[in-house]
Structure 1
Amino acid sequence: MSLKGKIALVTGGSRGIGAAVVRRLAGDGAAVAINYRANADQAHALVKEIADAGGDAVAIQADVADPEQIARLVDETVERLKGLDILVSNAGIEHFGALETITPEDFDRIYHTNVRGQLFAAKHAARHLTEGGRIVLTSSVSAHRSFLHHTLYASSKAAVESMVLNLAPELGARGITINAIAPGGTATDMAESAAPEYFRGRDNLDLAAEIKAMMPLGRMARPEEIAAAVAFLVSADGSYVTGRTLAVDGGMR
């Protein structure tokens, strides 16, 4: 219960890695605001699950692509849970597309969520965080790997890593840490649908064999393993880590 008495906001918290983070932080004692964009049933089911286990959680709808909705999300979290100590900015969207197919609308859709959304989530959370506050943004191993037709998504995640590096001294002056996690392949529904895209152009693709070859551990991550890394960064044990991106990729080659 290392987070007992702490209040956390997790964006994109109704499914996948976000839901695993919610479960972990609640299990560690934090009260958690679960942000969702469209998955209301999943978000409210997760609230009930946490309440049934003796925890405290609320579900709050907001689209993090809209800075005004982000501001409302943060303020509503503070109002309903009586404060804010931790932000985990997890919401993000995937994209694959050849250069000649990328449109300005594609760029705006990806960057408004993956970059602008994370920057303004940090901005509005920082209005309420005090000494010991924690911010964790979400990058990806894709920021440092080359995959066919993945330029837009990968570049958006590289921007996140630059954000945490440059925000660290500004927030550090207030005793707030800011870091990012960079998950590798993780067993979620989004990853399952996107996995073949990572190996586009390969003949006779054997997805299981490709994953085993890339991962020294021979498997994808479980969402709770990514959540464990987040739990470290937001805990007292992570107090001297800031401005860094932690790759949680199983030694991905």
Structure 2
Amino acid sequence: MSGAGTPEGRLPEGRLLEGRVALVIGGSRGIGAGVARAFGRHGAAVGVNYLRSADAAKEVVSDIEAGGSRAVAVAGDAADAGDVAEIVRQTADALGDIDVLVCNAVGSTENAIDRVRKGLTLALDNAEDVQARVATQLATTLFPAREVLPGMRRRGGGSIVLIGATASRGRPGRGIAEISVAKAAQDALARSLAVELGPDRVRVNVVAPGMVPTDANAGPHQEPMMGEMAKVTPLGRVAYVDDVADTVVAFASGLTRHVTGAYVGVDGGRSML
């Protein structure tokens, strides 16, 4: 169940992003890879950032190029200001000024998942981890946004899409405080950036998935867990990677040209219950 899935009613295979240059931070795996591939299908040239998954990033690039769009894999730590400057420079040198940015990085979640499995679920017992996660999340949003802004201004505007989480506004699961709090901080930052960058015609929006089956949460527990979630989801199933990617395409494109500061949950309505 860890694949992208094939949800019904997908966006048509048009070219909604023809002529756009996009950078997907954290674009080598999971949701980020799905977004990068969807951008390529819709005609964008795509920078695929990765930290450690070089082979996975190269595979995403190959898929995009096979579909007729340009792409480049760019290594670097999105939480490091110097690395981010180089990520943006290399992408722009290869593809042109960036006018679509997707911030998908959050840092490793292995420790958080391990604590839940061990029953160590109280935020107060992991206060330093919560604090560190918030700092990382804000860094992986602020640094890329800062670096792409000059190019967006040269291109007359742009779209910044932050990948959030429905746990930041809905009922958070026990043991994931560091994720829900970090994403809530990112939500607040998105609203501030939407106001500050509006005069530059740069839109800033949040696309917030619920639980999505990816390789990050793969294992024998995945299918039964997703099945239980589907039972309490109004649309009757969990979201797939492609559900999230298509929503990001819409926010990157002219379909949402007068939308900024928005938060859209992609979880089949589960977070509203």
Q: Aligned residue for 1:251?
A: 269
Confirm or deny that 1:140 pairs with 2:154.
no
3-state SS of paired residue (1:243): coil
- Whether contact under 8 Å (2:123, 2:130) holds in the other structure is no
3-state SS of paired residue (1:134): strand
In the TM superposition, what is the alpha-carbon distance from 1:100 to its structure 2 partner? 4.4
Q: Aligned residue for 2:249?
A: 231
Amino acid at match of 1:32: V
Show structure 1 runs of 5+ residues with no match.
197-205
Higher RCO (C-alpha 8 Å, min separation 6): 2
Q: Aligned residue for 2:96?
A: 82
Show structure 2 runs of 5+ residues with no match.
1-14, 114-120
Q: Distance in 1 between matches of 2:227 and 2:165?
A: 22
- Whether contact under 8 Å (1:185, 1:191) holds in the other structure is no
Question: Which residue, 229, 238, 249 being the options, matches 1:220?
Answer: 238
- Whether contact under 8 Å (1:138, 1:160) holds in the other structure is no
Cα distance per residue 1:11-70 (max 9 Å; x no partner): 110111111101111111000000000000010111112212222100000111212211
3-state SS of paired residue (2:211): coil
Q: Distance in 1 between matches of 2:245 and 2:228?
A: 25
Q: 1:177 to 1:49 in 2, by over 3 A?
A: same
- Whether contact under 8 Å (2:163, 2:207) holds in the other structure is yes
Amino acid at match of 1:110: R
Confirm or deny that 1:160 pairs with 2:160.
no
Q: 1:208 to 1:156 in 2, by over 3 A?
A: closer
Q: Aligned residue for 2:4?
A: none
Q: Distance in 2 between matches of 1:63 and 1:111?
A: 16
Confirm or deny that 1:242 pairs with 2:266.
no
Amino acid at match of 1:189: D
Q: Aligned residue for 2:137?
A: 114
Amino acid at match of 1:221: A
- Whether contact under 8 Å (2:231, 2:237) holds in the other structure is no
Q: Distance in 1 between matches of 2:48 and 2:250?
A: 19
- Whether contact under 8 Å (1:33, 1:58) holds in the other structure is yes
Cα distance per residue 1:174-218 (max 9 Å; x no partner): 11101111101212112336977xxxxxxxxx6355212331222
Q: 1:121 to 1:207 in 2, by over 3 A?
A: same
3-state SS of paired residue (2:48): strand
Cα distance per residue 1:202-249 (max 9 Å; x no partner): xxxx63552123312222211011001100101011111101111111
- Whether contact under 8 Å (2:134, 2:182) holds in the other structure is yes
Q: Distance in 1 between matches of 2:241 and 2:76?
A: 23
- Whether contact under 8 Å (1:161, 1:244) holds in the other structure is no
Q: Aligned residue for 1:125?
A: 148
- Whether contact under 8 Å (2:213, 2:226) holds in the other structure is no
| Aligned residues between the structures | 243
Q: 1:209 to 1:169 in 2, by over 3 A?
A: closer
Amino acid at match of 1:119: L
3-state SS of paired residue (2:218): helix
Q: Distance in 2 between matches of 1:89 and 1:238?
A: 18
Q: 1:194 to 1:68 in 2, by over 3 A?
A: farther
In the TM superposition, what is the alpha-carbon distance from 1:72 to its structure 2 partner? 1.4
Amino acid at match of 2:245: A
